Amino acid sequence: MTEENKLSRLSHFRVTCPDGSNFTDNLYANGRHQCEVVVEVIKECPNRIGVWERTELTDEEIESIRVVSFFSEDGGFLPSGWSCDERKNIYSEGLWEGDKKVELKPTDYNPGPLVQRVSRYLRFSSQGSMESVRLVACMVLNGQVYKTKSLAEDSSFDSSVTLQPVVPFRLSVKDLVEYKHAAVSDTTFYATVYYWTPPAGVVFVAQEGLDRPLDMDYEGDHFQTGYAYAKQGNNTPHKGGVVVNKGNSPVMRSDIFKPYGIPVYNHYVRTDMRPTIMRAITARSLALKVDVTHDSNSTWSLIDNFGNLHQFVLESAGANYEGLRIKDKGPNLNLTYFKIKLPNNQTWTDALYSNGRHQCKVQVEVLLEREGAGPVPLTAEQRASVTITRYSTNVHEVLPPGWSCDVEKNMFDTGRWVRDGIMEDEQRNIGPDDNGSVPFSEIIDRYMRFDSTTPIETQKFMARIIIDGVVYTTNPISTPGGSSIDILPIRPYRLSVRDLTVYHDFDAQHDANSDADVFYYNPPAGLRIVSTMGLDNPLQVNDEGDYFQTSFSQKINRDGYRYCKAGVVLQKDVPGLKLRTHDVQRNANFLNPYIEYNVVSTIFRVVKIWTKNPIVEGDTKSTLRVWDNFGCEHRFFIEKADSGRSLELRDA
């Protein structure tokens, strides 16, 4: 199968992982680490004798290649927290486990010499939902957007990749090897450099300094002081801290402090005794201006070669602050209440259609308290880390196959629809004294979806949150008391033609050049058609309208008109948008008059147009797909009636 236009065509278009698979979890959720995704393309153009030949993509075509959400109908977005880069950054690929780096293993996968491979690099921020995402590729070829996803059941271009981000690892002090070196020993200036080397496979590539450095007089040009000791008795003033913004440049005394009261030679301070940028320095000199002894207990932040952030507390050591040490940044926040629930405070629901679009609202209640200070609001990062996953003792458990957790509510209604037109809302049966909330707690909404391609069964879920790098769940092993919910998806209902109310507008447009009819279809009470997905296999006709897909076309005489066709309008699902004859058939009427298109309040419409100008004949009987307000898909096809003078909608 190929996708083509007048100038070129695609004979191969696929998205994959570098090894040819469609799944990987080689991605840390830190906003910096990248995971490579490969887009395979074979573009063909006709040569001088009309034979299709492989042709390299242009720079503009390569630049147009993007990786987007599988569920992006307009081809334009990635899920919240995700980014796509055209180039690889400085961070290592793969994952690190224990004392070894998990490299991306060589693979025998070879798509063939004709395939042109274009790499894109995905990143994921921990502020997004920690669930796997399904992605497709899209590109622009001669002004038309192509995707590795098609509604047509026989499309050979259908491909996608699933990426599962993982929680970044955090190093502890016990993972580091410390080394101390007397770098300068002079009567006016003493400097000791402390080194900490991470385990094999991990390298610190950036250090972000201290979060609360002391405000020092005569501070060095490239130094942040974490603690300082004022002169007492015979003791010499000294301080400890870190060098910042120097890179690999030599460190001098002036980078650490400027002398006060007495001159001090600008010594070179050696800082390359160990292959690590995790270095701290203690400086001792009578020329140090320290008015008050103080230790800020600052947090020291560093980034490793996978883009993961590691934080330690830099503090003084010894009775007179004569030394320096680091310790793990301990949690000072307590998760005192953590519960997952449904909006009606029940623990079971079946208010979820298994169509991959309908959502079931789930609520997570959180109370965070600081030791000795009472409740504190969640940060944006903490709120964003809240997600729903399969019930397990494993805090890093993932969702069952077919399930997704969304941060935002989508366009579809929650709850259920029943045939008498009454919507069963998921918040029904809430008692007046059963709100279940505790004082000062926060409620975070999440939305569950289930893909119809997976067998249906009840699933038990728990909530997860990350506080200061520590992962908590509502499993009782993680949170005292614990909580969970059960969700049983149900099969989507399917509307038939007999469920629809039809209105035929015979006078939508009429003049000497063209005549248009519009057929309106309304679903039963409680339902609305919210999206027209179009025809799976539209008829390819000459002068096709800019917003139209043709189902059938024929040559037939009626009142001076010689040709007619019928089909559906696309990209005009918003009520009130106007329609013109050129939107339906470009050669139908040179005057391009308006077609009345909003007589009935529904976007489920079929248009039939008559014209004197020739149209290619044919009838695909293609499936027409529409989505309702619960995300359920309904399938029909358009059939000729009265020898083609009219039409009827049939169940597909």
Contacts of residues 54-61 at CB distance under 8 Å and 24 or more positions apart, as own/partner, are 54/114, 55/8, 56/116, 57/116, 57/118, 61/139, 61/140, 61/141
- Euclidean distance between CA atoms 180 and 289, whole angstroms: 25
Mean pLDDT of 111-128: 86
- How far is it, in rounded angstroms, from Cα 4 to Cα 7? 8
At 575-615, the pLDDT tens digits run: 778 999 999 999 999 999 999 999 999 999 999 999 999 99
**What is residue 248's predicted lDDT score, i.e. its pLDDT?**
83
Q: How far apart are CA 241 and CA 213, in angstroms?
A: 8
Could you report the per-residue pLDDT of 436-480, keeping only the tens digit for each? 578 889 999 999 999 978 899 999 999 999 987 788 999 998 888
Q: Are 386 and 468 in contact (CB under 8 A)?
A: no
What's the whole-model pTM score?
A: 0.62
pLDDT band of 36, cuts 50, 70, 90: very high
Residue 319 has pLDDT above 70, yes or no: no
Given a contact cutoff of 8 angstroms between Cβ atoms, the answer to whether 472 and 335 are in contact is yes
Position 578, amino acid: K
Domain ranges within the chain, ordered by starting residue: 3-163, 173-328, 333-487, 497-651
Predicted pLDDT at 536: 93
| The pLDDT of residue 64 | 92
| Average pLDDT value for residue range 7-19 | 90
Strand partners, 220: none
Cβ neighbour number for residue 361 with a 10 Å cutoff:
19
Contacts of 58 (CB under 8 A, 6+ apart): none
DSSP codes of every residue in 272-337: -SSS-S-EEEEEE-TT----S-EE---EEEEEETTS-EEEEEEEEESTTS-EEEEEE----EEEEE
Considering the chain, what percentage of its residues have pLDDT values greater than 70?
Answer: 91
Instruction: Taking residues 184-213, report their average pLDDT.
Output: 94
Residue with the larger pLDDT of the pair 322 and 643: 643
Among residues 295, 306, 364, 356, the alpha carbon closest in space to that of 335 is found at 364
Give 560 or 386, the one with higher predicted confidence.
Answer: 386
Predicted local confidence at residue 106, as pLDDT? 61
Question: What does the chain come to in residues?
Answer: 652
The β-bridge relationship of strands 348-349 and 485-487 is parallel
User: What's the average model confidence in pLDDT over 516-530?
Assistant: 95
Element containing residue 624 per DSSP (H, E): strand 623-628
Topology annotation, domain 3-163: Immunoglobulin-like (2.60.40)
Q: Which helix (H) or strand (E) holds 634?
A: strand 633-641
